[in-house]
Structure 1
Amino acid sequence: MRKLLWLAVVLACILLPLGAYVRLSQAGLGCPDWPGCFGQLSPAQAAQDIAHAMRLQADGPVSTDKAWKEMAHRYLAGGLGLLLLAYCWQAWRTRQQLFAASGLLVLLLLQAMLGMLTVTLQLRPLIVASHLLLGMCLFALLCSTASARYWPSQAVAPSHWRLAALLLLVLAGQIALGGWMAANQAALACQGFPRCNGDWWPAMQLSAAWPGWQGADQQHATLPLTALVAVHWLHRVGAALLSGLLLLTLWRLWSYPSLRRQLCLLGLLAGLQLLLGMANVLLQRPLPIALAHHVLAMLLLATVWTLLCRLHARAARHVSAMVQQAGRRPSTWLGKGIGPHPH
């Protein structure tokens, strides 16, 4: 089961960036049907249909190159699905890790459904953003399940657990907002940094930024420019709020020695993500930097989720008693991974 999990993690590390590459290279409709390509198993078998589509619209969403990108993503997604089904079968057969296996199976089925709808509904922004966020949640659950034996649990005060949970929720919201921005192609709606189009508070239309179901084709977004600016600006504001909450979380949890390595990793990933976000705007979103920004978001969500899974809240009085006992017998609390509490 461990081998299946780690193989699934490795495959997901390839699959999610590949999905981002398909989207960023405008290949999401390289094969306009699902699950095959023009009803065939591969673009090679659908060469005539692809050539016909290219004759009708030379600069359209269908081309041989785009079709292979899209189908490569589907092949890897199918491989990941088979690995997770094998893991779930082993979990049910051995009665081990049933909760994690059930969660992975539910996310897998939902993700497959969203992948189908992404194509059949012609890249609806709501579906694209949901597909992105759910894929990252699937990766986070995979990482936390596979690495559970390597990270000891840690008793913390309830307020510290709530702070970590809030960080996870805000991070998921920020990723969803980034997915909505990417799906509506609003990444370059704000020029310049830290100002947006030369203003600290640019002209924008928040009410038009959430039309919900309307679509965007491969060449341009259907939202008005003021709405695109609003989506982009909200993503920047969310990044600032998330950074402040992250610093507060790092400061409050630093008092637990067993968490410090993971906190250092979290801080490093967050710092790199901020730099990549700024570089995306200043350098006009080059493909490698945009792809790296996506990968860092995926790793951030997995790190925060894994951190939260390690924590279990205890009453403040109980944690203080453990800390006092740790002060009298250092070897005991070091062996159990129980860190001192600031209160």
Structure 2
Amino acid sequence: MNEFVLEQQNEAAAEQQKPKEVIRRLVWRMCIATLILMAIGSVTRVMNAGLACPDWPLCYGELVPAKQMNFQVFLEWFHRLDASLIGVSAIALFGLSWWHRRFLPTWLPWASTFSLFLIVFQGVLGGLTVTQLLRFDIVTAHLGTALLFFITLLIIGTALTPYQGTGNVGKLPWVGLTAAILVYLQSLLGALVGSRWALHQCFGGSQLCGVMYSHILGLVPPTVATLAVVLISWRTPALHPALRRLANMAGGLLVLQILLGVATFRLHLQVEPLTVSHQAVGATLLGTLVAFTVLALRDWIASRDISPYSVDLTTSAISTQAHGSNP
């Protein structure tokens, strides 16, 4: 009888876990699609294809502009197609989160609502980039919102991923959070440099050099913070292997990002794949730091929740032994 009841409870628990697992897989697929979308957007910008479709949301008044299709039109059209698919996925995430909210963490429906708001706002900014003829502030906000949407998805996905911490993270959550914020701000500076073509204008006519050098000098704080994440992770005993791997990945991406930035600067943005890779690696570095921070925070919160309970148990056990030893 007990085995039957236990089996029924396990089946009920498995049924409750299904919506969470479906949403987790959906979110990670959306993360990958968003990273690809930002890379395609970078290709669109460096290939001067941002205005290849003169209207919005259609392209030459059609869903598929077959007659006008060339490489530049394809880039802009495919960028919009990918964004539309992510938008549909965001609606699905919103619907699933609210429909199954009884079996999900209370924060998840609200997080999915925020992600849907971001993708809608991102679509509006995408339309404005065309109608306002690639105005630099709108283009910068377009990438900044895409990164924020990417971060939101990563937080949701990482928070839903099974993880059992070791309780030895110390100050790593706050160091990781600082590094992630600094990398995000540096990414916004990079978007501003790209949207204003500051590097070309500085080399060509000594204009907007201040914007370019702000991005170069702005490299220092996120580099120091990211290196701090790596070094502290190395020096932290019994750190969870997932956190150690993410820290090592962040260090490798940082080195690669600096090398790509130097190469892009030295070659005056003449090699488009380098420019695209620079933006894509920067977004990946940001995502790695966000995932690291979320896991470290989960580890830190779990240790604080468990520690008082463990202390109480230990105290009770000692007290019981002491009373038992008294005659």
Q: For this structure pair, what is the TM-score category when the shorter chain's length is used for normalisation?
A: 0.7 to 0.9
Which aligned runs of 4 or more in structure 1 are off by greater than 6 angstroms? none
Match of 1:237 in 2: 217
Q: Which residue of 2 aligns with 1:332?
A: none
Q: Distance in 2 between matches of 1:157 and 1:4?
A: 29
Aligned runs of 1:250-265 on 2, under 5 Å? Answer: 250-254=230-234, 255=236, 257-258=239-240, 259-265=243-249
Number of the residue aligned with 1:306: 291
Q: Secondary structure at the match of 1:187?
A: helix
SS of match in other structure, 1:164: helix
Stretch moving more, 36-45 or 175-184? 36-45
Tell me the TM-score normalised to structure 1 length: 0.72
How far apart, CA to CA, are the structure 1 residues paired with 2:202 and 2:166?
42
Whether the aligned pair in 1 keeps the contact of 2:173 and 2:294 (CA below 8 Å) is: no
One-letter amino acid of the structure 1 residue matched with residue 92 of structure 2: A
**Could you tell me which residue of structure 2 aligns to residue 99 of structure 1?**
110
SS at match of 2:118: helix
Contact 1:88 1:105 (8 Å CA) reproduced: yes
**Secondary structure, counterpart of 1:36 in structure 2:** coil
* Cα deviations by residue, 1:211-234 (Å, 9 ceiling, x for unpaired): xxxxxxxxx9xxx734x2111111
Say whether residues 1:178 and 2:178 are aligned partners: no
Aligned to 1:21: 43
Alignment of 1:1-343 (within 5 A): 1-44=23-66, 47=68, 64-95=70-101, 96=104, 97-148=108-159, 149-152=161-164, 155=167, 159-188=171-200, 225-226=206-207, 228-254=208-234, 255=236, 257-258=239-240, 259-285=243-269, 286-312=271-297
Find the residue that maps to 2:297 and give its secondary structure: strand
- Any idea what SS the aligned residue of 2:50 has? coil
Residue correspondences, number: 275
Q: Counterparts of 2:166 and 2:151 in 1: how far apart (Å)?
A: 19
Query: Considering only CA atoms, is the larger Rg found in Structure 1 or Structure 2?
Result: 2
Q: Which amino acid is 1:298 matched to? A: A
Aligned identity (percent) is: 27
Q: Relative to structure 2, which stretch is displaced further, 90-99 or 4-13?
A: 4-13
Q: Is the 8 A contact 1:20 1:291 kept in 2?
A: yes
| More helix per residue | 2
The 1:153/1:183 distance shift into structure 2, 3 A limit, reads farther
- Residues 101 and 295 of structure 1: CA distance in aligned 2, closer, same or farther (over 3 Å): same
Gaps of 5+ in 2: 1-22, 312-327
Residue 35 of structure 1: CA displacement? 0.2
Q: 1:85 to 1:318 in 2, by over 3 A?
A: closer
C-alpha root-mean-square deviation of aligned residues, in Å? 2.9
Using the size of structure 2 for normalisation, the TM-score is: 0.75
Give the whole-Å Cα distance in 2 for the aligned partners of 1:279 and 1:151: 39
Given that residues 158 and 294 in structure 2 are in contact (C-alpha distance below 8 angstroms), is that contact kept between their aligned partners in structure 1?
no
Residue type of the alignment partner of 1:232: M
Structure 1 residue 155: deviation in Å? Answer: 5.0
Q: 1:164 to 1:34 in 2, by over 3 A?
A: same
Alignment CA distance shift 1:242-1:9 (3 Å): closer
Structure 1 residue runs of 5 or longer lacking an equivalent are 48-62, 192-219, 326-343
